Structure 1
Amino acid sequence: MTTAADLLRTSPLPALETRVLLMHVLGWRRTELITRDHESLDAKAVERFEALAQRRLNGEPIAQLTGKREFFGLEFEVSPDVLIPRPETELLVETALEAIADTPNARVLDLGTGTGAIAISIAHARPDAGVWAIDRSPAALDIARRNARNLLGAAHAVTFIESDWTAKLDPSLRFEVIVSNPPYIAKDDPHLTQGDLRFEPRGALTDDADGLSAIRIIIDTAPLLLAPGGALWIEHGYDQADAVRHLLTARGFTGVRSIRDLAGIERTSGGAFIG
């Protein structure tokens, strides 16, 4: 007889990861791992847990093993086709919401939406806003659309567009805020071959250049799509804030600044474009 208590005691994984995988396999809530910890488990459930635990030991991200990740209080579907939403990206959502706080029916554009986490979180918090979300990956957009249906329902529409950045976006549209978490890791960064990043889509992580090429495109084209006084906010790497601020200023953005995440890292930079 194998129990949850047995697996929690003998698992080679950290305790938190063991609990997450057990809840996923058993369909239990966290409290049930305490109240039902001595129940005999089905042998197939034990086998499934052990298989997932081995995959985790081999480096696969927990989010891909469970197929979900919490972000901004919502649970998103994830897969190897999309970047796993990170807690630090919630700063980008908070900044966008602050930028449109006093604008009813604001229009928001999310470039490189992936799971749709940024766009959907904004739409969830501001159901009056019009939100557009772009990605070049059909597989990513399939997941983003499912997340929108599951988390927003019919009442909160997000317009998803398959496009290489803004190439297929209606050029007559104007947005109060544009946000993006683009690929910003340089092609030779050793982190790309370490940890969870090995299992995520390379195109969502790196521009296969200096880490700033996608950011340059976004900063160059954003003024063409911003309403007068509209804002652009971009997530970037821990050491890129100076470079991004310089690019924004050179393009004519005003009030350019960077915002630090909870770790004290300048994680998001942006400014307004008066036109």
Structure 2
Amino acid sequence: MKATAPSYILSFTCHSASGQVARFSALLESQGCYIDELAVFDDAVSQRFFVRCVFHPQTEVFDPARLNQGMRDMGSHYQDLRWQLQDRREQARVMIMVSKLDHCLNDLLYRQKMGDLDMTVTAVVSNHRDLAPIAEAYGLPFHHLPLDPANKAEQESALLALIEETGSELVILARYMQVLTSATCARLSGRAINIHHSFLPGFKGARPYLQAHERGVKLIGATAHYITDDLDEGPIIEQVVDRVDHAYTPEDLQATGRDMECQALARAVRYHLERRVFLNDNRTVVLR
């Protein structure tokens, strides 16, 4: 939920070493800040340390620049220190990309309307016109960027320009049924979330529900992940599964899957907006 009083999220990661939490806590105390939430994880495999902290100033005067300088000073003690400071009163600006299927778009916009997703939707973008009425119903700009093999580079150039123009910090591929180029994936690294209608790494690519039916699976799922230039191989943020049986037709699997897709995508988006997600090589750390 959107904060009304001054409150901040500071997340950082660095190479594993001793004393990070003590030094960080002392830094916040020295600037008159009170820690409301603190979650940490030390990954023995990658030897990286991850911290997410929610805090509020206890004084009327708080200068984020001083805290950023304090974090830079911490960087002289800890290898490869990277951090983000987020004012919780500021909503993230989010662009949603779709094709013809509307269930994920409807779900995201409803959750945003009800305050479950604290974000400002800058635009709905599609390679088809079918979902323009939904964007119009929510009072959102709709941009039709048609796509064919001959104009892919031009279309993605227009997309990137639109992301820049609207100041969109996050791009959600809410059943956008096109593969983005390697160059665009690189530009959007760590800030574009896709929903795949399967429990990855199984059944990648097109028609996963039909693949699942042909294999007679007993569990199906949906996976929300950051995009990379490897199709459906990006770092996984959230997965949802449900049990099925031999009586399910491909259509039954699709109906069950729609609910899971909405759940997985909404959770992944919320985790990202709340600065809970850290990239850790080709994996993620999600601090809850």
Q: TM-score, normalised by structure 2?
A: 0.33
Between Structure 1 and Structure 2, the one with more strand by share is 2
Between Structure 1 and Structure 2, the one with more helix by share is 1
Which has the bigger relative contact order, CA under 8 A and spacing at least 6?
A: 2
